[in-house]
Amino acid sequence: MPELVDGLDSKSSAFGHVGSSPTAPTGVMGTYRRFPLSIVKGKGCWVWDDQGHRFLDAVSGIATCSLGHSNRALRKALSRQLGKIQHVSNLYKILEQEHLAKWLVEHSCADSVFFCNSGAEANESAIKLARKYGNLSRGIDRPLILAAKGSFHGRTLAAISATGQPKYQKGFEPLVEGFEFFNYNDIKDFERLIDDLERNGPRIAAVLLEPLQGEGGVNPGEKSFFRRIRDLCNEKKILLIFDEVQIGMGRSGRWWGYEQLAIEPDAFTLAKGLGGGHAIGALLVKNHADIFEPGDHASTFGGNPFACMAGLTVAKEIERRNLLSKVQQRSTQLVNGLEDLVKAYPNQLKEVRGWGLLQGLVFQEEWELNSNCFVRSALDQHLLLVTAGPKVVRMVPPLIISAKEIGELLKRIEATMSICCR
């Protein structure tokens, strides 16, 4: 294998500085380790950089651009909306917000919706809701929320405190108190924790879980694990809250990740794919969890007409184009192709896991290459991928991706593998 610089062949690269760590643009804080790529336009599942190179996009804004780039329906709807009104305060009724809330309620197990601007904000809303619920419904003065190791719930302080990955928390101590952690898909560990914590009376307000852990390595939930948690939450009157920020809104091949598990949460959060690339988040709750009162929570921009029109357009386009069925078809094609790749490279690749168009290609621990190196190498194949931990490469293309484009995606991954294994 050639000498690697950050995982790339040090001799050459189509992008010159791909193996380096570029400095932040002037005036921009260095909070991102950016790839040396300036994307200036996109169409469907393809994007172009400022040098005219075209890339197949299997990142889609990290599971955000559900309808791809520069979607015609979104362009028309949002242009019309800008011609009407883009923002008013939540002091007044907002018709676009009510229409989107109505659609979400009619297509899910929820009864009402709170709108905000991102997944982290949605999870912050859920954390506040859980604490108030614990206080009101279970009489707990200092309520606890149980979350899974390997989880990811956002970058705000309470959200990283609820995140079961210490690497995101380091340097930001003291964290928000009130979170305890158990092993994902390990019901014995969950039962042990809940028994220990509730031995002397109620202490737990809620359980916060991703139906599929995205950032934590593309780990799908197991039905038996989630079924038992649902039963225990029912028995003890503990809220079960799902973080569907990444897997929700059709990415799994169903509207919601909880449908893959054959249970319903008491509340769940959305963002990413809901806006098709526009900033919007949401907390959806069933009636018994609808306990916020005026003044308990708010958002200046949350649920504004522009964002809600984006969400409503995405929802209706997914329906109109029958994208849930197409996601299932393209998922089968993608998984079959990736599994063939695992068979061809058994010393380097371990398995494929995921739901729908959120798939992870898992590396063998012994392989010297990490996922970030592989993603950088894929740039030379004009392919955009994203990591999900040091040994998992994640594919989250737009939901509109075609069979031909899935074939091209597989071809470019295989080309990257062949180069990395030289």
pLDDT digits (tens, 9 = 90+) for 67-84: 999 999 999 999 999 999
Mean pLDDT of 297-324: 98
Residue 148, strand partner residues:
182
* CA gap 422, 2 in Å, rounded: 7
Q: What's the confidence (pLDDT) of residue 422?
A: 82
Closest CA to 381 of 48, 54, 52, 40: 54
Residues in the chain: 422
Q: Which residue has the tokens 């606890």?
A: 144
Q: Is the pLDDT of residue 2 over 80?
A: no
Question: Of the candidates 275, 217, 325, which has an alpha carbon nearest to the alpha carbon of residue 74?
Answer: 275
Residue whose tokens read 């225990």: 232
Give residue 26's pLDDT band: very low, low, confident or very high (50, 70, 90): confident
Residue type at 359?
A: Q
Instruction: Please spell the DSSP secondary structure of 3-16, one letter per residue.
Output: -EETTEESS--TTS
Question: Any idea what the Cα angle at residue 255 is, between residues 252 and 259, rounded to 5°?
Answer: 75
The pLDDT of residue 24 is above 60: no
User: What's 381's DSSP letter?
Assistant: G
In sequence order, the β-bridge partners of residue 144 are 204
Place of tokens 């649920």: 303
Please say whether the beta carbons of 392 and 25 come within 8 A.
no
Q: Say whether pLDDT at 9 is over 90.
A: no
Mean pLDDT of the chain: 94
Q: pTM for the full model?
A: 0.93
C-alpha separations of 351 from 222, 243, 316 in Å: 17, 25, 35
* CA–CA dist 161, 413 (Å, integer): 35
Q: What are the extents of the domains in the chain?
A: 4-70+323-420, 72-320
Nearest-angstrom CA–CA distance, 380 and 393:
16
Per the CB < 8 A criterion, the answer to whether 416 and 377 are in contact is yes
pLDDT tens column, 318-356: 999 999 999 999 999 999 999 999 999 999 999 999 999
The answer on pLDDT for 12 being more than 80 is: no
Q: What percent of the chain has pLDDT over 70?
A: 94
Quote the tokens at residue 368.
């010297």
- Picking from 338, 329, 336, the residue whose alpha carbon sits closest to that of residue 356 is 329
Q: Where are the alpha helices (DSSP H) in 140-206?
A: 157-161, 166-169, 187-197
Sequence-ordered alpha helix ranges (H) in 31-164: 60-63, 72-84, 95-106, 119-137, 157-161
Strand-pairing partners, residue 283, are: 114, 269
Name the fold adopted by 72-320: Aspartate Aminotransferase; domain 2 (3.40.640)
**Topology (CATH) of 4-70+323-420:** Aspartate Aminotransferase, domain 1 (3.90.1150)
User: Taking a C-beta distance cutoff of 8 angstroms, is the pair 203, 143 a contact?
Assistant: yes
Mean pLDDT (whole number) for 189-209: 97
State the pLDDT at residue 104.
98
The mean per-residue pLDDT over the stretch 25-38 comes to 88
Q: Quote the CA–CA distance of 419 and 422 in Å, as a whole number.
A: 5
User: Residue 274, SS3?
Assistant: helix
Element (H, E) at 243: strand 239-243
Alpha-helical segments (H) within 283-402: 305-320, 323-344, 371-378
For the stretch 170-184, pLDDT in tens is 999 999 999 999 999
pLDDT digits (tens, 9 = 90+) for 267-300: 999 999 999 999 999 999 999 999 999 999 999 9
Q: Torsion angle, CA of 178/184/187/189, rounded to 10 degrees?
A: -60
Q: How far apart are CA 317 and CA 75, in angstroms?
A: 12
Residue 3 pLDDT greater than 80, yes or no: no
CA distances from 80 to 76, 115, 133, 275, 310 (A): 6, 22, 40, 16, 11
Summary count for the chain: helices (H), strands (E): 13, 19
User: For 127-163, what is each residue's pLDDT tens digit?
Assistant: 999 999 999 999 999 999 999 999 999 999 999 999 9
